[in-house]
Amino acid sequence: MSKVLHFEGHKYLRQRLILATLSSKIVRIDKIRSDDQDPGIRDYEAKFLQLLEKATNGSTIEISYTGTSIMYKPGAIQGGRIEHDCGTDRSISYFLEPMLALAPFSKLPFVLTLQGITTDHIDPSVDILRTVLLPQLARFGIEQGVQLKITKRGAPPLGGGEVIFNCNSVRQLKPVQLTDEGRIRKIRGIAYCTRVSPQTANRLVESARSLLNRYIPDVFIYTDVYKGAESGKSPGFALSLVAESTTGVLLSAEKAAEAGQTPEDVGLMASKLLLKEIKLRGCVDTTSQWLNLLLLVLSPEDVGKVRVGQLSPFTIQYLRDLKAFFGVSFKIQPDEQTNTIVMTCMGVGYVNHNKKTT
């Protein structure tokens, strides 16, 4: 318990803090941008620490005077009704993604209201979290009262969006073995636009269909046009796509408009990214690798398996951190036939003691 885990650097800050919270280990992170012109933690990182403090009970966070090192003693995961302004440096997903991993193990049900940017081109959008990550939580038995509602959209740079995330806690996860990637059965998507011509959404859909319809006729993309107060403060549009296979595997890709890109560009880029995910043949897409691996580690003491297409740098570091915090290492078996990787591990049998058995 008294052992302090040491890390260095500003990268992977979120995941380390979350893993520290889940494993109740004290963590110290040094050299946060110590060589940078502008040293120390950034605003969005400070905001994330604040959110973490709100979501837990009894945590202490000490930030050094220069902001280049953090000492974090995790408390209990409390949950309850939390409201947080995420600012406009990073999107809401930057904050919500790690919260998805905490929420199932909290004392009280999570009712989390986050304000900020709903979709940007750096983090996965809230649409992807809702349509892909939440069903993946359900696979592990986290399905009661899980809901993500996007009440307001907010595009960068000014944001102004709002989402509400609900999640009831669970006592224990279900073990999962997911190795059959199946074949793609249908493609769904959401084309959203705010404060631009409503026609933009249709143009997004049109261009995506032009590429995806050569494979499968079952492509349905919702157009989601927000108006008035619900549309946030800045104009923006994006397309997120989800391919579902015969075995219920969900693969996602998305593209948010950057300056100077036409809806046609964005639609095609999103489609190409989806094709890339499909080509990788994983059972989870690159964005959700980390969540699935974490939940496998927290699963009951049984063998859990998942097939992934290719390990992303984020995931590789995550594997190392998972080992540091939980002492679990995955068996990483490349499958030459399909050029995929099967990840196998023994769960640690994590039990949420706050939740009474019924």
Partner 1 sequence: ASQMFHAHRRINLMDLVYNQTDVSPEDIASGNYDAQDLDGAQEDDSDDDDAFFSLKKEAAEDQLDRMLDTSRTQPTTAEFEEWEDEDMLDSIRNRFITGDIDAANGE
Nearest to 115 by CA among 145, 81, 80, 151: 151
C-beta of 96 vs 150, nearer to partner 1: 96
Q: How far is the CB of 58 from partner 1 (least distance, A)?
A: 26
Question: Shortest gap between Cβ of 151 and partner 1 (angstroms)?
Answer: 23
Distance between CA 116 and CA 163 in Å, rounded?
9
Residue 36's SS3 state is coil
The contact set with partner 1 (CB under 8 A) reads 10-14, 33, 36, 94, 97, 122-124, 183-185, 214-217, 246, 268-269, 272-273, 275-276, 278-279, 281, 286-290, 310-317, 319-320, 323, 329-334, 336-338, 341
How many whole angstroms separate alpha carbon 113 and alpha carbon 105?
Answer: 18
Q: Are 211 and 188 in contact (CB under 8 A)?
A: no
Nearest-approach distance from CB 356 to partner 1, in angstroms: 33
Compute the least distance from the CB of residue 225 to partner 1, in Å: 25
Q: What are phi and psi of 162, to 5 degrees?
A: -150, 135
- Cα-based torsion angle of the residue sequence 100, 106, 111, 116 in order, rounded to the nearest 10 degrees: -40
Q: How far is the CB of 291 from partner 1 (least distance, A)?
A: 8
DSSP state of 91: B
- Concatenating the DSSP letter of every residue in 237-302 gives EEEEEEEEETT--EEEEEEE--TT--HHHHHHHHHHHHHHHHHHT-SB-GGGHHHHHHHHHHS-SS
- What's the closest the beta carbon of residue 269 comes to partner 1, in angstroms? 6
CB of residue 125 vs partner 1: minimum separation in angstroms?
9
Nearest approach, Cβ of residue 318 and partner 1 (Å): 9
Both tokens of 271, joined, read: 């489609």
CA separation for the pair 187, 261 (Å, rounded): 24
Contact 193, 144 (CB under 8 A): no
CA 318 to chain centre: 13
Q: How far apart are CA 202 and CA 263, in angstroms?
A: 9
Rg, C-alpha atoms of the chain: 20
In angstroms, the CA 72 to CA 17 distance is: 8
Cβ nearer to partner 1, comparing 172 with 292: 292
Closer residue to partner 1 (CB): 13 or 225: 13
